[in-house]
Amino acid sequence: MITRCTPFRLFLILFAFCSQLWAQHRNEVTALLDGDAHDIKITQKFTYVNESTEGLSVLYFNDWNHAYSNKNTALAKRFGEEFNRSLHLAKDRERGFTDIKSVVANDYAGLDWKRLGNRDIISVTLNEILQPNDSIELFFTYTIQLPDAKFTSYGYSPGFGYNLKNWYLTPAVYRGEWKLYDNINLDDLYTGITESVINFTYPEKLHLVSNFGESSSTKFPGGQYAKLIGRNRKSCEIILTTTDRFTKHKFENLTVTSDLESNKYDDVYQGISINKIIHYLHESLGEYPHNNLLVSEFDYSRSPLYGVNQLPSFIRPYEEQFQFEMKFLKTAIRNYLQETLFLNPRTERWVNDAITYYLMIKYVEEYYPNQKLAGKLSKIWGFRGFHLAQMGFNEQYTMLSMLSARKNIDQALTTRNDSLIKFNEKIANGYKAGLGMSYLSEYLGEKKIDSSITTFYKEFHLESKVTADDFRKTIEKFSNKDIDWFFDEYVATDKKIDFKIKSIQKTEDSISLIIKNKRGTNVPISLFGLQNDSVISKYWFTDIDTTKLVTIPRNGEDRMVLNYDQKIPEFNQRDNWKTLNGFFSSNKKLKFQFFKDTEDPYYNQIFYVPIANFNLYDGITPGMRIYNKTFLERPFQYDIAPTYSFLERTMVGKAGFRYRKYHKKTGLYVSEYSISGSTSHFQENSRFSTLTPAISFGWRPNDLISNRRQTLLFRYRNVFRSIDENIADEIDTDPDYGVMNVRFIDRDNNILNYNSWFLDAQHSNNFTKLSFEYEYRKLFQSNRQLNFRLFAGKFLRNNTESDFFSFALDRPTDYMFDLAYLGRSESSGLYSQQIIIAEGGFKSQLENPFANDWIVTTNASTNIWRWVEAYGDLGFIRSKGQDARFVYDSGIRLNLVTDYFELYFPVYSNRGWEIAQDDYGQRIRFVVTISPRTLIGLFTRKWF
């Protein structure tokens, strides 16, 4: 039967369609890119629709290009927290900013606008209140100066082109209150959905691709023009390149534009892989609602698949097809979701992460079930014995997310992006979210989770008001079990999951186990029955608050294992199993292994690795380091490193045992108990040995991103010395002594504003002393850096007859053996020129540098040009029975890497013009760090 469409019915249909269409913001941008000035002149007509139920008198717009404008923006401060000075030291021509000329309404009346302080937000005050469902046309005229791409990879890259994202003004979101977020390099712009038309004019020698559809393009003398259209989109991304490197892959209703490639993977096969992945996404999520999906190398570099994939391409251990597909899959899913699921990316990013990594895990399980994390390396002799070589590719998600948990820096998935530690923001939280979905999939059944994801996407893609609560409700619809634990415990808290089998009993037809919940996190736990390493039974148990007795039928199991398939991201799996073959068979076997490895829960791992140390008296000392530290931190660690001194023809080395207990995330967060010892030589045929029990406590602030730490240390240093008879007369102190040391340290390690101080108390049989040190470094707006240090020390009691325990101006005797001197007893020659800034901190070697009563010194330096600085030291020192002396020195400092590699060239001091004296080469001082562990910390500090 045919129903006639009356004029009235047609009117209603058209009215409903137009109401839906015009309920969105509309945006028309006309932009002209100047390739020489690297700026874009923009006129923008924006129709703002008030979708709220309240009248609005002020509208807010995101201006994220302005984040690069000065040294006090949120982006610049974020860089400082991550030890990145690039934006602070940038030249004006490298910065990006927005110069707004005018803002007018559709009646040509000018509107008042202002920038919110130094933020990337502007407010526009309307002449009349904008009522609900009403709209207003705004006309913006402005110029954006693009930043150098070296900061965040957005902007212009000299000689390579442009990456434009979040480059024009976009509307902030109003949800009862304005959601105003600054650009801090997290790719999480939260803006309203618009119908956008971008009229873009750009230089003639560039090639353009975009996430928007290109409706038309023309070339003209000296330039090009493209009209880009985006419906139901957030913002327009444009990539301009000097070479045409992008390829378009056309499917029935979708074009994929990509420059991801693999030099060793044929283009035809790349197309087949892309087709496979797009089909997988359609099946897993649903139809992509836009006609163009941009998948770029640039986007992948912003959010790579961390892990072994980060190795240089020439040593990457994967087959080319797998490597290409994982790279494309990660980038495609991320862009697929960002362009269609409009959750608040700053507060609800975990939903996109959960879907992304769950689909990646599933993809590997479906198409590459036998893929190893180490790839082809897992078959190489010498490496295949490592547990890392035996791990499946998907096991990296547990390992890297657990790296954060073991360090006690893990954060809830609901934590805002701008409050996440960088390692969590880039890696751990995303991996934990994906693992959580795999956990749910195992517990509820794969089809239920797959169906819930597909339904959620189909119902809420392109919806402006979708929230994480909608995601929860969708999963609950498909669940036949209680899953409140997942959202209330796993997602919303940072509680750890940790179970163990406390005891086990067997009869002929049943097995009884007591399962203990070590952390009190009430989530389901799986139990597997194994026979000769084959799974023959599996059970799920819930509601285990503390302990629970469970009984299962016996079907030939010889071992019971919790979480055998490791689908549950459990804190510690080393106590997850029990055998049914008696006490001795349940003991784990020892496994001696060369070099550090990942944690194998079924062995007691002992690692060994050859090492070599150096000092002047022992020379190069090769040896063997024996330890139990895996890639994941564990509470108890030992590290034993015996080495052989060829110069002294004897054994030297060190050993340490440590137990670390984490408490809360903030406040008093850690306590540590340790005992350590070392032995080495401090002169020819003269040995020192130390034995040190210690206890320390650590505090950190509520803001985990903050680099501030406070430490209280108690230790007792026992020193034993055997001295060569030939120099026995030179040693005027008892060879053996002990010092009780208490030190409180407060350090805020920020590259722009560094603050550190400590108060130290030492007590021994012959002396009691107090000392205080304060250090401050500041990088000013003018790029002038000031380094200032104050040291003060006082003996409360001093019965010594020598200067061995005295305060020193330039080279402390280091009777506590804390300082890494290469030649600690040298008074002349190259090794005596090594300086470690401690106590007086002077660089010139002055006469009578010791004080056995009190000392007060200041050290300061400031830069002359880049890493060339001028320094000066002033102070007063006093020894018993003498008047206080005023001391000073000055010179040039080459601050190549602060605290790691520095050179000091004295110029003038109490000794006069040192630079004019004959032995000047012997007066140059140097700071050098050769400890690999310390150097590695220089590169990893920004992550944790």
The three-class DSSP label of residue 311 is: coil
Summarised one tens digit per residue, pLDDT across range 417-472 is 999 999 999 999 999 999 999 999 999 999 999 999 999 999 999 999 999 999 99
The encoded tokens of residue 658 equal 């440590």
Q: Pick the last residue of a domain from 224, 244, 264.
A: 244
DSSP code, position 588? P
Closest-CA residue to 380 (of 389, 371, 391):
389
At residue 485, φ and ψ (nearest 5 deg) are -55, -35
pLDDT of residue 939: 63
Closest-CA residue to 238 (of 301, 170, 298):
298
- Per-residue pLDDT, averaged over 763-772, amounts to 96
The encoded tokens of residue 51 equal 């979708």
* Cβ–Cβ under 8 Å, residues 258 and 221: no
Q: Confidence band (pLDDT; 50, 70, 90) for 929?
A: confident
Q: Confidence band (pLDDT; 50, 70, 90) for 313?
A: low
Q: Is residue 632 part of a domain?
A: no
Q: Is the pLDDT of residue 555 over 60?
A: yes
* Cβ–Cβ under 8 Å, residues 647 and 617: yes
- Per-residue pLDDT, averaged over 297-320, amounts to 79
CA distance 939 to 942: 7
Closest-CA residue to 648 (of 601, 616, 691):
616
Q: Is the pLDDT of residue 600 over 90?
A: no
Tell whether 697 and 833 lie within a shared domain: yes
pLDDT of residue 308: 59
∠ CA 782-786-791, rounded to 5°: 165
Summarised one tens digit per residue, pLDDT across range 68-102 is 999 999 999 999 888 888 999 899 999 999 999 99
pLDDT of residue 723: 87
Tell whether 566 and 675 lie within a shared domain: no
Tell whether 105 and 193 lie within a shared domain: yes
Tell whether 712 and 570 lie within a shared domain: no
The three-class DSSP label of residue 658 is: strand
* Cβ–Cβ under 8 Å, residues 386 and 406: no
* Cβ–Cβ under 8 Å, residues 942 and 750: no
pLDDT of residue 381: 83
CA distance 331 to 296: 8
Q: Is the pLDDT of residue 729 over 80?
A: no
Residue 517 lies in domain: 499-587
Q: Is residue 397 part of a domain?
A: no
* Cβ–Cβ under 8 Å, residues 804 and 816: no
Q: Which helix (H) or strand (E) holds 129?
A: strand 121-130
Q: Confidence band (pLDDT; 50, 70, 90) for 511?
A: very high
Residues 6+ apart with CB under 8 A from 417: 186, 188, 345, 346, 347, 349, 425
Q: Is the pLDDT of residue 329 over 90?
A: yes
CA distance 137 to 360: 43
pTM of the model: 0.91
- Per-residue pLDDT, averaged over 562-591, amounts to 81
* Helix, strand counts (H, E) of the chain: 15, 47
Tell whether 680 and 582 lie within a shared domain: no
C-beta pairs of 858-863 under 8 Å, 24+ apart in sequence: 858/788, 858/789, 858/790, 858/791, 859/787, 859/788, 859/789, 859/791, 860/786, 860/787, 860/788, 860/789, 861/786, 861/787, 861/893, 861/895, 862/784, 862/785, 862/786, 862/787, 863/783, 863/784, 863/785, 863/895
- Per-residue pLDDT, averaged over 554-572, amounts to 90
Q: Is residue 517 part of a domain?
A: yes
pLDDT of residue 310: 64
Q: Is the pLDDT of residue 5 over 50?
A: no
Tell whether 75 and 199 lie within a shared domain: yes
DSSP code, position 914? G
CATH number at residue 191: 2.60.40.1730
Burial class (CB within 10 angstroms; exposed 0-12, middle 13-18, buried 19+) of 176: exposed
Q: Is the pLDDT of residue 583 over 70?
A: no
Burial class (CB within 10 angstroms; exposed 0-12, middle 13-18, buried 19+) of 167: buried
HSE-CB for 841 with a 13 A CA cutoff: 27
User: Which range is least confidently modeled, 189-203, 582-596, 886-900?
Assistant: 582-596
pLDDT of residue 314: 64
Scored b (16 or more CB within 10 A) or e, 552-564 reads bebeebebbbbbb
Q: Is residue 895 part of a domain?
A: yes
Question: Which residue has better confidence, 869 or 558?
Answer: 869
pLDDT of residue 347: 96
Q: Is residue 407 part of a domain?
A: no
DSSP assignment string, 468-496: HHHHHHHHHHH-SS--HHIIIIIIT----
Summarised one tens digit per residue, pLDDT across range 253-298 is 899 999 998 878 888 999 999 999 999 999 999 999 999 999 999 9
HSE-CB for 345 with a 13 A CA cutoff: 23
Tell whether 85 and 198 lie within a shared domain: yes
The three-class DSSP label of residue 355 is: helix
Tell whether 556 and 671 lie within a shared domain: no
* Cβ–Cβ under 8 Å, residues 494 and 401: no
DSSP assignment string, 289-310: SSSEEEE-HHHHHHS---SGGG
Q: Is residue 797 part of a domain?
A: yes
Question: Which residue has better confidence, 315 or 185?
Answer: 185
Q: Is the pLDDT of residue 898 over 50?
A: yes
CA distance 345 to 897: 37
Q: Is residue 378 part of a domain?
A: no
Closest-CA residue to 856 (of 870, 835, 842):
842
Q: Confidence band (pLDDT; 50, 70, 90) for 931?
A: low
CATH number at residue 560: 2.60.40.10
Q: Is the pLDDT of residue 10 over 60?
A: no
The three-class DSSP label of residue 54 is: coil
Across-strand partners of 738? Answer: 718
How many CB atoms are closer than 10 A to CB 458?
11
Edge-first strand listing for the sheet containing 238-241: 155-157, 161-164, 238-241, 207-210
Residues in the chain: 944
* Cβ–Cβ under 8 Å, residues 327 and 308: no
Q: Pick the last residue of a domain from 568, 587, 606.
A: 587
At residue 143, φ and ψ (nearest 5 deg) are -125, 135
CA distances from 538 to 443, 827, 840 (A): 11, 71, 67
Tell whether 547 and 686 lie within a shared domain: no
Q: Confidence band (pLDDT; 50, 70, 90) for 19?
A: very low
Mean pLDDT value across the chain: 91
* Intra-chain end-to-end CA distance of the chain, in Å: 69
Beta strand 636-645 with 650-662: parallel, antiparallel or unpaired?
Answer: antiparallel
Q: Confidence band (pLDDT; 50, 70, 90) for 575?
A: confident
Burial class (CB within 10 angstroms; exposed 0-12, middle 13-18, buried 19+) of 770: middle
Q: Is residue 758 part of a domain?
A: yes
Beta strand 603-615 with 589-594: parallel, antiparallel or unpaired?
Answer: parallel
* Cβ–Cβ under 8 Å, residues 648 and 682: no
Q: Is the pLDDT of residue 862 over 90?
A: yes
The three-class DSSP label of residue 451 is: helix
The encoded tokens of residue 135 equal 């709209």
* Cβ–Cβ under 8 Å, residues 578 and 587: no
Tell whether 744 and 876 lie within a shared domain: yes
User: Which range is least confidently modeled, 107-111, 144-148, 244-248?
Assistant: 107-111
The encoded tokens of residue 172 equal 């902030």
CA distance 544 to 565: 20
Q: Pick the last residue of a domain from 552, 572, 587.
A: 587
Percent of the chain with pLDDT over 90: 74
Q: What total of structural domains would you count in the chain?
A: 3
CA distance 214 to 198: 9
Tell whether 578 and 669 lie within a shared domain: no
Q: Which helix (H) or strand (E) holds 748?
A: strand 737-748
Q: Is the pLDDT of residue 332 over 90?
A: yes
Tell whether 735 and 840 lie within a shared domain: yes
Q: Confidence band (pLDDT; 50, 70, 90) for 933?
A: low
User: Which range is least confidently modeled, 220-224, 462-466, 586-590?
Assistant: 586-590
CA distance 31 to 35: 13
∠ CA 776-780-783, rounded to 5°: 120
Closest-CA residue to 846 (of 786, 799, 889, 876):
889
